[in-house]
Amino acid sequence: MSNNHMIMQQRATSPADDGWNDAAAEASERTIRGTLLKFADWRWTAGKEATPISDGTKLVALATTAIWVRWENGKPVEYRTRQAGRRLPEREDLGHTDESEWEEGPDGKPQDPWRNTRLVYLVNPQTAEAFTFSTSSWGGRGAVADLGDQIARMRQVHADAVPLIELRSAEMPTRFGRKSKPLFKIIGWKTADTEQPAPVERQISAKKAEREARDQEMDDEIPF
């Protein structure tokens, strides 16, 4: 067997040493990972071209982060990220409070350069394509909080549970009339079976997951 053939065999059997893990680590350090997702007027869109995303598109919700983003000339120029287990800094602590120096907003009035923003990191379970949903609206931040609440309840039963969601929309009554907000509809869960010697993907139906979480909450209420 030639030396070149042996080297090719070693490379084929040692994917951890092929450099892709390092490249992935670099990608994970980005604020926006993969394609940017937006929601407005009952529609999901992707990328700078605002390509329509079908209602009901299935993605795995991997993580989220809360940040203040400062905008200047239509571009983000500064970030303040929430630290784990802590609240975001108060707006008054961020500076740039002189409204006479603020840029004009869409309504012609000075617009606060700091925007209270949520990012949700998602991945296509079939292709591993990455997406980042960004929102600074009340409805969008509420949707992220609702999803986090469901995840926290499920993790009382399965500590490593990750939700499989569908991108949906929902009605949001406001003083200005009927508006829309994004909705992350959980349709199942993915977990790692820690009893196996190697992680084994396990999918749980949404109905079963809710039942297990409810049973766990009932057990926690029993004082003996």
Q: Render pLDDT for 52-100 as a digit per residue (tens, 0 to 9).
A: 999 999 999 999 999 999 999 989 999 999 988 888 999 999 999 999 9
CB 180 within 8 A of CB 139: yes
214 pLDDT more than 90? no
12 pLDDT more than 60? no
Each residue's pLDDT tens digit, 111-128: 999 999 999 999 999 999
CB 169 within 8 A of CB 55: yes
The pLDDT of 178-188, averaged and rounded, is 94
CB 111 within 8 A of CB 105: yes
Q: What is the pLDDT of residue 36?
A: 96
- Lowest-confidence pick of 35-49, 71-85, 114-128, 201-215: 201-215
Q: What is the pLDDT of residue 224?
A: 30
Q: What is the pLDDT of residue 161?
A: 93
Rounded-to-10 torsion of CA 200, 62, 212, 149: 170
Q: How far is CA 139 from the centre of its chain?
A: 15
196 pLDDT more than 50? no
Rg over alpha carbons for the chain, rounded to the nearest Å, is 22
Q: What is the pLDDT of residue 221?
A: 47
Euclidean distance between CA atoms 216 and 219, whole angstroms: 5
213 confidence band (pLDDT: 50, 70, 90):
low
Q: What is the pLDDT of residue 112?
A: 95
